[in-house]
Each structure stands twice: as structure tokens, then as C-alpha cells.
A and B are shown apart, each in its own frame.
Chain A
Amino acid sequence: MTSRPSKPRSFQEIILRLQSYWAAQGCAMMQPYDMEVGAGTFHPATTLRSLGNRPWAAAYVQPSRRPTDGRYGENPNRLQHYYQYQVLIKPSPPDLQELYLGSLAAIGIDMELHDIRFVEDDWESPTLGAWGLGWEVWCDGMEVSQFTYFQQVGGHDCHPVSGELTYGLERLAMYVLGIDHVMDMPFNDPDAPIPLSYGDVFRQTEEEYSRWNFDVANTDVFLRHFEEAEAECEAILSQDHHDPKTAKRIVMAHPAYDQCIKASHIFNLLDARGVISVTERQAYIGRVRALAKQCADAFVLTEAGGYAGS
């Protein structure tokens, strides 16, 4: 474990190393979910798959959006669009901490030179009705990952318990590569014929989205979208489990959950636009949570959710 790994040279090399490390540990290499989400946890491969009794192991990169964190590409650390690397293993293996430390070694963190610490940080997602216990992992005083044992998701107790690892990729990569401003970070290999920095890829989009998020997004339209997503989610879940066309039992947990994701993201956008007052805020969070809970209720009635027939 203490062999000195070579230093990665770019953002993408760190992602590739994590991919091959977790693939070697037997995780299914999932792809990002094709919707706007605030964090990797929202991917159904985490939220829904942490429910029910079926074993599961997956890892993936998830582009994540937090409209309020937009800084027009100027802040060295803050972005409204960034990447998370997410690992979910159910049931959590007894050596998950060692596996995690192995992943840090794989991306070039030398355990003999750095100070790695597990510092109490209980995770809670009010919008997902989920919580777990674990730590933020510190490397030389910097939080490099979130490490959580899920106890409840969508209001359901987790049996067995999933272990979840979330890496903030930009921050971790900046640390490993010794970069001070995210936009200066090499995206591909610096010696490639066409070397690209993170800024080459994302500076312009950060600017465009920051302007749109904060000042332009049509709030009336989004308020309506929120209502529509909420209504659609509930409409989907109110369908009979028996599909009259195929005569099969089809519970539409995933399509409904898509609408929950949509509502959650629209709420984040509206929040960034400052049109949600402090008191309303709680109410909106409660509405998204109610959707997440109904989706969880539906998922546990599906095969993937451990449903074994009535």
C-alpha cells in the first residue's frame, strides 16, 4: 500500500485512475445520469439502488450543478458546474476505509507524506429524506471526500447499509496537481498536441451560466415547471401497477424519479434567482422530499428494489 505511485499530470488522468481503480475493485462503471442534478447522490444508481436488499456496487462521474455557487469563472475554487466522483457499494464491505485509502494512493497521494484523517461529518439530504453517518476525509487539512454509511433514504431504513464515497473532483485534482486556480488546471495531458486547461473547457460556460442563473432565467417559467414536474411525478405514481397493454406488472419508479430530480434542480435554480423567501424555502424542500419519498416507496415495489412478488 505504501509503494510510491507516479503523479498524475491532468484532471482527466485522475478521473481515469479512479475509474480503473474502482473497476478493479469490482464496481460497475456507470455513466453520468443524463439529467441536471445538484450532486452525484441524485443519480438513481445511488438514491434508488441504496434501497432494498439487493447487492450493488457502482462507480461513476456525475456532472453536478449548483447555480448559487456560480462566480463567472473568477473564483479559484467555486463553480456552478463541477464533477463529483461517486462510489456506492451495498452492503458496505468491512474494508471500505482501506479500499478508499487505496483509491487515494492510486491517484498519487503518498500515504507516507500526507496526513489523512476521518473527521466526523454526518450527512443529511433534506430534499431526499436521507441521512447517514460518516466523515469528511481530510488530506493535510483539506476535505477531499465525503464518506457515508447510508441509514435512511426516501424515508426508508437502509437494509443492508450502503457505503457511499463522494470525491469533489476539481478540488481533489487541484490538490494532487498543485494548482491554485481551477481554470489553470490541465484538463488533458499538458504535453498533448492540443493541451487544454480546465479554463479552456469551462471558463466561458461558467460565465454564461452564471449570468443566466443569477439574472436571466425566467422565474415564472421555472415556477411553472416545478409545479408541472411535481404533478407529473404524482401522476406517474398514481398509475396502476398492472400495464393493460402488455399485461405485465410495471411500476414506473424511474420515470417518476426523473420528475423528482427535475423539481429538485428547478428549486435550486429558483433559489439562485432569489425568488424563494426563507419561509417558502422550507416548504419547497418539503415538496421535493415528498416526491423523493413516494419514488422510494415505488422503487421498493420493483424487482431491483427487492420486490419478490405479492
Chain B
Amino acid sequence: MPNLLIELFSEEIPARMQARAAQDLQKRMTDGLVEAGLTYGGAKAFSTPRRLTLAIEDLLAASPTLREERKGPRVDAPEKAIEGFLRGAGLTRDQLEQRDTPKGAIYFASIEKPGRPAAAIVAEVLEDTIRNFPWPKSMRWGAGSLRWVRPLHSILCILSTEEGAETVPFEIDGITAGNTTRGHRFMGAEPFAVTGFDDYAAKLKRAHVILDAGEREGHILQEAQNRAFAAGFELVEDRGLLAEVAGLVEWPVVLMGEIGEDFLALPPEVLQTSMKEHQKFFSVRNPKTGRIERFITVANIETPDHGATILAGNQKVLAARLSDAKFFWENDLRTIREKGLEGMAAGLSDVTFHNKLGSQADRIKRIEALAREIAPMVGAKPDLAAEAARVAKADLQSEMVGEFPELQGLMGRYYAEAAGHDDGVPEACEEHYKPLGPGDAVPTNPVSVAVALADKIDTLTGFWAIDEKPTGSKDPYALRRAALGVIRLVLGNGVRFGLEAIMKSAFGPQPADWIIQSAKSSQAHTKADAALGIDESGLVFDEKQVVILDLLAFLHDRLKVHLRDEGIRHDVIDACLVMEGNDDLTLLVKRAEALADFLKTDDGDNLLQGFKRANNILTQAEENDGVEYSFGADVKFADTPEEKTLFTALDTAEPEIASAMQAEDFAAAMAAMARLRAPTDAFFEAVQVNAGNEVLRRNRLNLLSRIRTLCLSVADLTRIQG
């Protein structure tokens, strides 16, 4: 069976797109071939800055012949119908077969689709793949209309067997496929012919191209570690940078250079960011000083002077870059000395946060007030939290962050330290953006927690107030992330507060005009009310309250997602969400965890069944009788020992559960519930609730109601499935 080799040779493909493009080439080609009947043994795709390559092993030499039998009209059908059938099948009447069936004599056509040679199919699928390639961005060039990521220069496409290789006849917009390619731009530019994948990969290597990106990465990493180690240093590994750099070279040549003494006093993150972002350099640390003192750059060429010129040039560029960084750093420190952090932050009143939500300075005022309010609940001093909030975003006005936006927060920490803070404010400057995602660590320093919560709650209430909520996949203000941030900050630190009250404060300074509009859209879906179990006829809310409940429902939704990831079933969460105090997330989760544990035990599961049975009987009886059985069970009407035992058990359990709930000791409450299991089971075993005697029956129903009330005081067990 033949092997197929395809190479699409172009001008430099952006590094970030190469790996994905190789995958897409493999998927689109193999899918297309298989769909056309060409199965294969194995496939592997490769990318370099100038080429995408696909090697397919053991491809069928031709697609299999397909036979299809088609049932036609009756033999005595009108002439037109028969002609139509013949046209559709592409046959003449004498090629049809007559068969007698219970419905009479019917024509059958046997159609044979002959298989096609692999080359023809490959050409078709390749054309389709090239024309519809899913590049993130593509372009035209010259006078043509073909689109590719950058100008496409040549196509290699061969089918090879033991007898030799044949070029697949293929042409697209003036580019004819052949059996040749070229090596490195400067060290192997002469074209050469290949006969198959192994020949191709070997000849490429001779022409200074390492085809496999993984091999290039491995080579770079190992060389870089060796260079650093040989000089007594250590490489600061960076996977993302490694992959990017491997996509910038076909023949990696690793060089190590020095960072000028002048720049070693810069914060290491500044050195690293500047080197990585602008120059794609790796950082190299001196283990003795802990400082970044060297860099590794990866060139794409071997030179007679062993890279001396290249290294000197890179060093010079780096010095110019770092002079800029040093200039910014020193200017920023001078600003801090002369005007303080708040002076640095002054310009934020000119920076618009959102045209409906005011400037950054407006926002900082809101965050400050909120941080002050939250501080006591997270163990921070209110004045300190307020001060941290005032300066936490000062670094947005620094020259350094202007140049390197990704250093926001971190520079804030350095500048707060420079301003003499050692009181948690520097940490808050850095950490108040956190956690940034599900994997990011949650701050624990109380001042950071206060400001981080205030920041996120202001963001959420602000955008809720102006009705800019996430819809579907659109979440331009990252509000889902902010909500998850609130949840993780609260749970991670065991923070106890009612979110509703905090949100009420947070909504206070938000623009009132917009809230009314937002409330209308909240009311459109009454999810907020449903989640809270509030019946619509009952309470009248003002607009602000509607928006608050809508936001709370959003937070509950995010909490469900978060807890589901932590392994807590959604029905368990639902059973807890409807309970009083559901805006205290720590309490809510404590309850849900206790319930989840309880339901995993034998007692829990059985009690749940007992509760459901009781509830069913009660619901039915209440429906039939039109009354609610909620009060008045009396032990003196207890007829059987099992009934009496259940009375006693409830008499014990009720105060136990009440006091456990009072102490928010859900585990103890669940344990008390568990002790009801045996008497409840025994009761149902021995006693018929719907007794003939109406007094006994009512008493028993009222007894069941005690079980129901007691269980529902812990969680809404009616929402538990199974």
C-alpha cells in the first residue's frame, strides 16, 4: 500500500498558528480521504516556520468498488416513471432486472460505482483542504485570489511504494505539485527531490531543517540547560516561550549572553518580561544571588564566527530595551518619592473605566467604601483596607505598566513597598486582581481579600446596574470570572457575610438611571425569584432589589458550576439553595457538603426514602382532604409501639436538630436526622397510615408532618433525586 507525503511550503507562518495548522491539515486530509473510501494505517503532521507536512502510511491504492441495488417502479408503471428511474440510475432498460414480488413485477437496478485511484482522490481532497483551511487569519498576495496564511510557494505531493514514488497530478491557482522542496533559507536553499517521508526528513536535516517541532523544542531546552549549567547558572524554564521559539526557527542555535550590570537592580519580573515579550529571550538565573543575570537567545543559523555577531547584536538591542525599562522604573520611583502613591494614582480620574460607570477614580472610590465595609468580616482593619483600595490601581498610571501592561499589580507591589508600606498594602496591590481563573491561587492576606472582594463585587454590581450581563458565549467584561473570583475568595477564606447586604451597599453608588432598565430585563426571566422560592404574588420589590436578586441568582449559578467541579451533585446544591441564608456562600456550601456526605451513608439514603414516602402520603392526603396536616400529633392516640417509638424519637431529635442548626453544625443535625431512620423505617413497616379510624389516621398524618417539617428545616429534601 502506498504512503502519501504532502508538504505545503510558504513564507513564514506565525509561530502561534503552526501546531494547530499541522493538526488541521492532518484532520481535514484524513477525514476527506476516509470519506472518499481511502482508509489508511497511520498519519503524522509536522510544522516548521515555512512548511506544513503530512505523512500518511499505508493508504489504499484505490477506493473500493461500491455496488448499490436500487428498487424501481413496477414493470407496468407509466413509461415516464420508468424513464425517470433509468435516468437516475444511469442505465438502459435492458440492464434492469425484473423481480416478482408480492406487489407484482418490479424493476431493480444494480449500479456499480468503480473505485478510483488514490492520486485522483488525494488531489481532490487536497484542493478542498487548501481552499477551506481554517487559518485564524489568512491573506491574498500578488494578483491571485487563493488565500493562505502567507504566500504559498510550492506543494510537494507524492505517493510512494516499494517500486518508487509518483507525483500526484495537482494544480491550484498556478502552483503545480511536484516532488521537490527546499531546506533552510540560508543554509540549504537549493531545491531537492524526495522519494518518501524518511528520505524527506533525512534530506531536510542535511539541508539544516529539523522537521519535528518537538525535536526542535527538546534540542533548545537541552542546549539552553547545558549552556546555563556550564557557566554555573540555571535556566528559568518557560514552556510557552519554548514552543513559540521552536516555531521561529528551522535550525535552532542556542546562544547565551550577559545582561549589563546596570540593569541587574531592576525587578526580576521586569527583566524577564522585557526579554520575553520583546526579544523572545529565556532568563538565566544565578543561583548564588537569585538574580537574573544572563539570557539565552535562539538563532536560526550557524555562522563562521559561532554566533558572536548575532550575540553582540542581541545584547545591544537588549541594552536599549532595558535602558527604557530602567528609565521608566527610575521615573516611577521619583514620582513615588515626590508625590506618593496617591499622587501617582491622581491621573486615574482622566481614565474612563466605562462610559456609563465613570472613570477609574470613580470606581476606586466605590471600591474603597466597599473594602472598608467588608474589612471587619475578613479580619482586616477598615482604614488599612480603604487605603489599599485607594492605591491598589496607582500603578496603572506608572510608566512601567504603560510599557508592560502585563506587569500591572506586580509593579503596584514594588511601588507600594517603595512608598514604605509593610502592612499588607503591597500584597493587596498585587493580589486584588486575583484569583484570575479557576487555577489561580486565592489570596489569603486579609487586606488583599477585602480589596479583591470589593473590586469584583463593584465590577459585578456595576455591569449589572447598566444591564451588561454575559449572554451565551459573550462575556466581554469577564463577569463570569469575577463571579467565580468572589465565590473562591469567600469559600477559600471561610468568609461569613450576607452577599445581599453587601450588594445593596455596592449598588448604592452605581448609576441609578440604568438600574431601572436593567430591572426590566431581569424581570423578563424570573429566575431570581424562582431560585429564592419567592412566589410572584407575594412580595413587591423595588428595581434595585430585582437587580440584586438577579445578580445573586447569577452567583448561585456560578457556584453550582464550581461545586459540580468539586463533585457535589446539582440536586444537593438545589436542596440547599432554597434555604434561608443562601446569600451566605460559606454557610450554603457547608450545608451542601454535610448533606452530600449524609446522603452517601446508608442511614441517609434510607431516611431520604422515608422522608419521600412520608411526603408523598401527606401530599396525597392533603390534596384529597383539602387541609394541611401540620399540627396536633398527640402521643396519646398512638396505637402501636412503632408509633410510640417514633414519637419519642422525634421528641429527642427536634431539639437536637434545632440547636445544631442554631450552631450551624450541619453534621450534627444530619447525625440527629440519621437516628430517625430506624424508627421511621419500623413505623412504615408496621403501621398503616390511612387507617379506617379517622382519629388514628389524622394523628398519623400529623406525625408524618413532624418528620417532614424537621427534615425540611435542614434542607429541601424534596429536591433530591432518587
Which residues on the B side are within 8 Å of A158 (C-beta)?
140
Nearest CB of A to B8, in Å: 15
With A94-B151, A115-B299, A141-B279 in contact, do A149 and B310 touch (Cβ < 8 Å)? Answer: no
Contact yes or no, B313 A118, CB < 8 A: no
Q: How far apart sit A149 and B151, CA to CA, in the bound complex (Å)?
A: 9
Contact yes or no, B352 A115, CB < 8 A: no
Pick from A113, A140, A180, A278: contact of B305, CB below 8 A. Answer: A113
Contact yes or no, A175 B352, CB < 8 A: no
Which residues on the B side are within 8 Å of A159 (C-beta)?
140, 143
Q: Does B248 sit within 8 A of A, measured CB to CB?
A: yes
Q: Which residues of A, 125-169, contact B by the 8 Å Cβ criterion?
A: 132-135, 139-142, 149, 151, 158-161, 163
Instruction: Give the number of A-B contacts (CB < 8 Å).
Output: 104
Contact yes or no, B320 A77, CB < 8 A: yes
Nearest CB of A to B483, in Å: 28
In the complex, identify which listed stretch (B10-18, B122-130, B611-619) lies at the interface while the others stay far away: B10-18
Pick from B49, B150, B310, B320: contact of A133, CB below 8 A. Answer: B150
Contact yes or no, A92 B248, CB < 8 A: no
With both beta carbons as reference points, the residue of chain A lying nearest to B299 in the complex is identified as A115
Contact yes or no, A278 B137, CB < 8 A: no
Which residues on the B side are within 8 Å of A115 (C-beta)?
299-301, 303, 310, 313
Contact yes or no, A120 B352, CB < 8 A: no
Contact yes or no, B141 A120, CB < 8 A: no
Q: How far apart sit A42 and B18, CA to CA, in the bound complex (Å)?
A: 33
Q: Does B186 sit within 8 A of A, measured CB to CB?
A: yes
Contact yes or no, A161 B310, CB < 8 A: no
Q: How far apart sit A179 and B309, CA to CA, in the bound complex (Å)?
A: 15
Which residues on the A side are within 8 Å of B722 (C-beta)?
none
With A161-B139, A278-B350 in contact, do A94 and B153 touch (Cβ < 8 Å)? Answer: yes
With both beta carbons as reference points, the residue of chain B lying nearest to A148 in the complex is identified as B139
Q: How many residues of A contact B (CB 8 A)?
A: 38
Q: Which residues of A, 103-119, contact B by the 8 Å Cβ criterion?
A: 111-119
With both beta carbons as reference points, the residue of chain B lying nearest to A134 in the complex is identified as B150
Contact yes or no, A120 B15, CB < 8 A: yes
Pick from B137, B186, B313: contact of A122, CB below 8 A. Answer: B137
Contact yes or no, B137 A175, CB < 8 A: no
Contact yes or no, B279 A117, CB < 8 A: no
Q: Does A204 sit within 8 A of B, measured CB to CB?
A: no
With A113-B304, A139-B313 in contact, do A118 and B151 touch (Cβ < 8 Å)? Answer: no
Contact yes or no, A119 B310, CB < 8 A: no
Which residues on the B side are within 8 Å of A77 (C-beta)?
320
With A122-B137, A151-B139, A277-B350 in contact, do A141 and B11 touch (Cβ < 8 Å)? Answer: no
With both beta carbons as reference points, the residue of chain B lying nearest to A2 in the complex is identified as B186
With both beta carbons as reference points, the residue of chain A lying nearest to B355 in the complex is identified as A279
Contact yes or no, A120 B16, CB < 8 A: yes
Which residues on the A side are within 8 Å of B320 (C-beta)?
76-77
With both beta carbons as reference points, the residue of chain B lying nearest to A113 in the complex is identified as B309
Task: Annotate A64-85 by CB proximity to B: 1 below 8 A, 0 otherwise.
Answer: 0000000000001100000000
Q: How far apart sit A149 and B139, CA to CA, in the bound complex (Å)?
A: 8
Q: Does A195 sit within 8 A of B, measured CB to CB?
A: no
Which residues on the A side are within 8 Å of B297 (C-beta)?
141
Q: How far apart sit A279 and B14, CA to CA, in the bound complex (Å)?
A: 33
Q: Which residues of B, 290-309, contact A by the 8 Å Cβ criterion?
A: 297, 299-301, 303-305, 309
Q: Does A93 sit within 8 A of B, measured CB to CB?
A: yes
Interface centre among B16, B142, B317 (most CB of A within 10 A): B142
Q: How far apart sit A180 and B316, CA to CA, in the bound complex (Å)?
A: 9
With both beta carbons as reference points, the residue of chain A lying nearest to B257 in the complex is identified as A141
Contact yes or no, A141 B313, CB < 8 A: yes
Nearest CB of A to B309, in Å: 5
Task: Annotate B341-365 by CB proximity to A: 1 below 8 A, 0 otherwise.
Answer: 0000000001110010000000000
Nearest CB of B to A135, in Å: 6
Pick from B143, B150, B310: contact of A140, CB below 8 A. Answer: B310
Contact yes or no, A91 B150, CB < 8 A: no
Q: Does A25 sit within 8 A of B, measured CB to CB?
A: no
Pick from B11, B141, B186: contact of A118, CB below 8 A. Answer: B11
Interface centre among B141, B143, B314, B316 (most CB of A within 10 A): B141
Which residues on the A side are within 8 Å of B355 (C-beta)?
279
With both beta carbons as reference points, the residue of chain B lying nearest to A95 in the complex is identified as B153
Q: Which residues of B, 242-256, contact A by the 8 Å Cβ criterion?
A: 248-249
Task: Annotate B240-284 by CB proximity to A: 1 below 8 A, 0 otherwise.
Answer: 000000001100000000000000000000000000000100000
Q: How far apart sit A133 and B147, CA to CA, in the bound complex (Å)?
A: 12
With both beta carbons as reference points, the residue of chain A lying nearest to B303 in the complex is identified as A113
Contact yes or no, B304 A112, CB < 8 A: yes
Nearest CB of B to A139, in Å: 7
With A114-B313, A115-B301 in contact, do A161 and B350 touch (Cβ < 8 Å)? Answer: no
Contact yes or no, B142 A93, CB < 8 A: yes
Q: Does A6 sit within 8 A of B, measured CB to CB?
A: no
Pick from B149, B300, B316: contact of A117, CB below 8 A. Answer: B300
Would you list 26 pairs from A and B whose C-beta atoms are within 8 A, ordered by A residue? A77-B320, A92-B142, A94-B142, A94-B153, A113-B310, A114-B301, A115-B313, A117-B249, A119-B248, A122-B137, A133-B139, A134-B150, A139-B313, A140-B313, A141-B314, A141-B317, A142-B313, A142-B317, A149-B139, A149-B150, A151-B140, A161-B140, A175-B313, A175-B316, A278-B352, A279-B355
Across chains A and B, which 8 residue pairs bring their CB atoms closest together, nearest first?
A: A140-B313, A120-B14, A118-B12, A160-B143, A141-B314, A115-B299, A91-B143, A133-B139
